[in-house]
Amino acid sequence: MFIEPVHKDQLQPPETSRRFILGALFAYIAFVITGILFHPMWRDEFHPWLIAGAASSLKDLFHLNVNEGHPALWYVLVFFLRKLNDNPVSMQFMHAAIAATTAFLILKYAPFRRFQRILLIFGYFFIFEYALISRNYAIGILLVTIYLSMYRYRTRFLIPSALLLFLMAQTNVFATILSMAFLAAWVFEFAFSEPFRKEILLQKWSLTAACLIVLAGFLWSVLSVIPQSNGFFAGSSHFSFSQLTLRETIRTIATVWKAWFPVPILNRQFWETNIERDEPVQAVFSLLLLFPAILLWLRRPVILFLFITGLSGILAFILMFYYGYIRHHGHLYVLLIICLWLSAYYRESRFTFNSAFLAKFHRWLRLNISGIFTVLLLIQLFAGMYAYTVHLFIPFSTSRITAQYIRRNNLDRFMMAGDKDIALEPVLGYLNKEGFFFSRNAFSTYIIYDNIRRVPFPSRVLVMADSLARTQQDTILLVMNYPLENPAGLNLIKVAAFEKSIRYDEISYLYLLIPPETKQNHSARDQIIH
């Protein structure tokens, strides 16, 4: 097989219009900054911030990160940021800077039409999931985009390319899979392209160093992700053959549809929903999407190999280890963008179709791929703008407004406890305060995801709270994400309720529990009212 790359001089040059780049980029930044100001962070965003705050050193940070199920790069960045300030909003702005850098690289280097590049950065994943929600996925997407931007120089800069793959593997599992797909595509091209192989072999020392760097990155990533024996990563992330069922296979294939067409149900709690709710139907739609994609790249074997390798890796992880959420499935969409981007770097081979139908369909795809891509981008744009708009009027989480209410009414003078712990954690984060987690029966600033954690039954929570109040001889402020009934014998005062949020389990109910032994605290209700 002979793979013929496009000569560098024949590639589409980077965008040169500063007016276009700066205009689109400033609009994107304005959208993201505005969105951040309206975005109260939820527990998954706050968690790395709180771990970084609890770590006294980088060594301590790596120790605290062992059961997180994520490599440590994002945690390291947050750790150094916390050394500069204690305001969690700074993490959101750092995340916005990462997203804006990705947008800039797309606007300047992506081999798409101008309006397609604008649609891409304002689509669902690039304006919402990987911009407004501050997680470790945006840094992985940035590294992917840097890698794509310098792809034309991949044979000249072996070590920088290897370092990018190394860092990519330190962000999250799905970026690690993409980096492994990139490496596999390199090996494939090395095996079947004589010009590529000759150019690489001229740099034997650089090639050796690059291989060691990439392998070290993959090894470190795998060791970081595998939890220790007491870990409880993602609730129950593990492999067993019992998961390899037809139902789970259908559910896994359906994630392609969810990633490529993430149009949600049009209501307040739209997140993690899809307008097509039936998973078997989603799976059929996914196969209908995958067939033309594979057919399109049959004459570009490197791209086809990259696509199949990345697709198989992501779907295998979803099926065998962890199903995940839309932010994880979004890497299937990123893989599609990667392959469309890199298609510009390879000429079509002389592969011939035995079927006249396939040959005709392939020709039609080649002629209409730009229009098909535009339709896909418009769908992503609609999903992104819907999510963004709803997000401006309905808080993603009630964590911030709950914390503001607590501070404004001087309720943070009381000992705080809560259930479920997932709702308590972001409130403590905004207050920069320690609280009592019933799931561990201990005080902490953040949730520790290990097998000691046991979320109690709601009927048990008030018994534990009463015992804590009596033991501490102090009033407790309970932060709950479900309402409580006032049982006989307890002095339980409902203070406030915050029930309006996009994330259904990030609502808050505040109660004061006053132990009978502390009569001086019985005036707490009057203090709150006045």
Q: Is residue 490 predicted with pLDDT exceeding 90?
A: no
Q: Classify strands 442-444 and 435-437 as parallel, antiparallel or unpaired.
A: antiparallel
What is the structure's pLDDT at 195?
Answer: 86
Q: What does residue 113 show for φ and ψ, rounded to 5 degrees?
A: -65, 160
Q: What is the mean pLDDT of the chain?
A: 91
- The residue whose two tokens read 């593997």 is 169
Ramachandran assignment for 353, one of left (phi > 0), alpha (psi -120 to 50 degrees), beta (any other) = beta
Confidence of residue 526 (pLDDT cuts 50, 70, 90): low
Residue predicted with more confidence, 339 or 201? 339
Segment 144-158, tens digit of pLDDT: 999 999 998 888 899
Q: Is residue 172 predicted with pLDDT exceeding 90?
A: yes
- The residue whose two tokens read 């730009």 is 370
Q: Is residue 350 predicted with pLDDT exceeding 90?
A: no
What is the structure's pLDDT at 244?
Answer: 83
What is the structure's pLDDT at 234?
Answer: 55
Q: How many residues does the chain have?
A: 530
Mean pLDDT of 432-460: 90
What is the structure's pLDDT at 530?
Answer: 46
> Which strand (E) or helix (H) includes residue 310?
helix 301-320
Q: Which residues contact residue 448 at a Cβ distance below 8 angstroms, ignoring those fewer than 6 apart?
A: 67, 440
Confidence of residue 68 (pLDDT cuts 50, 70, 90): confident
Rounded Cα–Cα distance for residues 336 and 507 (Å): 36
Q: Is the pTM above the cut of 0.85?
A: yes
Mean pLDDT of 449-467: 88
Q: Is residue 523 predicted with pLDDT exceeding 70?
A: no
Ramachandran assignment for 6, one of left (phi > 0), alpha (psi -120 to 50 degrees), beta (any other) = beta
Omega before residue 83 within 30° of 0, cis: no
Residue predicted with more confidence, 450 or 519? 450
Rounded Cα–Cα distance for residues 222 and 333 (Å): 23
Mean pLDDT of 500-523: 81
Q: What is the DSSP letter of 450?
A: B
Poorest-pLDDT segment among 214-223, 245-254, 385-394, 480-489: 480-489
Rounded Cα–Cα distance for residues 116 and 340 (Å): 12
Q: Judge whether 511 and 277 are in contact, CB under 8 Å.
A: no
Poorest-pLDDT segment among 5-14, 40-49, 286-295: 5-14
Segment 231-240, tens digit of pLDDT: 665 544 555 6
Segment 384-417, tens digit of pLDDT: 999 999 999 999 999 999 999 999 999 999 999 9
What is the structure's pLDDT at 238?
Answer: 58
Q: Is residue 167 predicted with pLDDT exceeding 90?
A: yes
Ramachandran assignment for 512, one of left (phi > 0), alpha (psi -120 to 50 degrees), beta (any other) = beta
Q: Judge whether 177 and 294 are in contact, CB under 8 Å.
A: no
Which residues pair with residue 299 across a beta bridge? Answer: none
What percent of the chain is predicted at pLDDT more than 70? Answer: 92
What is the structure's pLDDT at 489?
Answer: 75
Question: What angle do helix axes 356-393 and 279-296 make, rounded to 10 degrees?
Answer: 130
Q: Which of 7-21, 242-256, 385-399 has the highest mean pLDDT?
A: 385-399
Following CA atoms 249, 250, 253, 258 in sequence, which dihedral angle do they give, to the nearest 10 degrees? -140
What is the structure's pLDDT at 164?
Answer: 97
Residue predicted with more confidence, 9 or 213? 213
Burial 332-343 (b: 16+ CB within 10 A, else e): bbbbbbbbbbbb
Mean pLDDT of 413-435: 94
- The residue whose two tokens read 């702005």 is 93
Q: Is residue 524 predicted with pLDDT exceeding 70?
A: no
Residue predicted with more confidence, 236 or 447? 447
Mean pLDDT of 414-443: 94
